[in-house]
Amino acid sequence: MTYHSGRHFLQLPGPTNVPDRVLRAMARPTIDHRGPEFRELTLGLRDALRWVFGTRHPVLVYPSSATGAWESALANALSPGDRVLAFAQGFFADKWVRVAKGFGLDVRVEAQDPRRAVDPDRVADILRADEGETIKAVLLVHDETSTGVLSDVEAVGRAVRDADHPALFMVDAVSSLATVDYRHDAWGVDVTVAGSQKGLMLPPGLAFTAVGLHALEAHVSATLPRAYWDWTEQIAFNARGFFPYTPATNLLYGLQESLAMLREEGLDAVFARHARFAAATRRAVTAWGLETFAADPAEAAPGLTAVMVPEGHDADALRWKILERFDMSLGTGLGPFKGKLFRIGHLGDLNDLTLMGTLAGVEMALELAGVPHTPGGVAAAMEVLVGADGP
């Protein structure tokens, strides 16, 4: 292995860079998870978690990858054979569908241009046409991390309500939370799922499920098997500051610190920072003469940019060159996008110079890998960073 001086650039769209403050917070002795100090810790986390999800209702925390939160959402609120509506948004939407099918749910997957956001009017039309109210849940991925396309949760939530249909609205906010505005209650979301290793700046290992009142009502009569994920048990234990099983104590220390950091920066500033980074990155891509996978800049995710490589070139070969030469990790093309695109993560704990280093690494590697492009993307991005309103 070649020796690399300096720090590794972890510019994946998750896991993201873990701030030193969070690392230090986690480097503390594990405590008794049934004792008073632990109780203090979890009760303190409760309000901060509700704040970041925009809800007054319970936010459950599981020791799990975010995939577990998908299971939590489905298993707790639905019954065997229930019909759910999903859209072919990309790799993560497909994976959620696979979990739903694994539970024996009747999943109706609507075709979807992966380069575009889900159209709220189509959601409304499908629900209006569902006269027997057979659809029990609508699944939507907010930021489809495999494509870098952001759907409008607020508009889809409004479409569900306007259709006057009782389907539960379930949203995967795994890579959007703490990168862009999110309001579980105000947007009529019934279940939100999220994970620790993206905008929350934590290592992988925690999954979140925010549960609204309609979902809790559905939970009472839902009959899919549930045990580890059971909301009733979680909520009862959480109310006393505890968990039904051994929690990931040290990750909770980290969570406490990352939520404090988000509070200090302010969510609006966090969102504005991500929007600037996304705009600067898009400007670089355009200046290189390359194309972002998101077809409409207004639908581009603030946390990552998926970049298509020209026909005849392999995005993974480029990524390897970047890793080898510049010690930087970028996201690969997932599923059908393998080799066709790479993904620049610009979410979580980064600043202007981190982004400039990232884009410089890409521009140098485009040259080294012989990918046809126009130099000057970094300079174009700099113009956005110094021109746009700074923090």
Ligand X SMILES: *Cc1c(COP(=O)(O)O)cnc(C)c1O
Shortest spacing between CB 31 and ligand X, in angstroms: 25
Shortest spacing between CB 336 and ligand X, in angstroms: 16
Q: Which is nearer to ligand X, 179 or 385 (CB)?
A: 179
Q: Is 302 in the site for ligand X (CB under 6 A)?
A: no
Q: Which is nearer to ligand X, 197 or 234 (CB)?
A: 197
- Cα gap 209→57, rounded to integer Å: 11
Contact pick of 31, 50, 65, 339 for ligand X (by CB under 6 A):
65
Stretch binding ligand X (CB under 6 A), from 64-72, 252-260, 293-301, 346-354: 64-72
Amino acid at 126: I
Q: Is 250 in the site for ligand X (CB under 6 A)?
A: no
Contact (CB, 8 A) for 381 and 343: no
Instruction: Kindly report the backbone phi and psi dihedral angles of residue 246, in degrees, each rounded to the nearest multiple of 5, phi listed first.
Output: -65, 115
- Cα gap 48→69, rounded to integer Å: 19
- Cα gap 251→202, rounded to integer Å: 8
Instruction: Kindly report the backbone phi and psi dihedral angles of residue 171, in degrees, each rounded to the nearest multiple of 5, phi listed first.
Output: -125, 130
- Cα gap 254→36, rounded to integer Å: 19
Applying CB under 6 A, the site for ligand X has a residue count of 12
Contact pick of 124, 127, 141, 153 for ligand X (by CB under 6 A):
141
Q: What's the token pair of residue 297?
A: 């800049």
Helix axes 249-265, 267-287, angle to 10 degrees: 80
Q: Report the greatest alpha carbon distance in the chain.
A: 64
Residues 152-191 that bind ligand X (CB under 6 A): 172, 174-175
Stretch binding ligand X (CB under 6 A), from 60-68, 242-250, 277-285, 348-356: 60-68
Q: Which is nearer to ligand X, 69 or 163 (CB)?
A: 69
Q: Which is nearer to ligand X, 203 or 289 (CB)?
A: 203
Contact pick of 145, 151, 234, 358 for ligand X (by CB under 6 A):
145
CA neighbor of 293 nearest in space, from 352, 281, 350? 281
Q: Which is nearer to ligand X, 248 or 371 (CB)?
A: 248
Q: Which is nearer to ligand X, 175 or 192 (CB)?
A: 175
Between 85 and 124, how does the x/- string for binding to ligand X read (CB under 6 A)?
-------x--------------------------------
Q: What residue ranges in the chain does DSSP mark as E strands?
A: 9-11, 59-63, 83-87, 106-110, 135-141, 143-144, 149-150, 168-172, 191-195, 206-211, 291-292, 304-308, 328-330, 341-345
Q: Which is nearer to ligand X, 94 or 363 (CB)?
A: 94
Note the residues at the interface with ligand X (CB under 6 A). Answer: 14, 65-67, 92, 141, 145, 172, 174-175, 195, 204
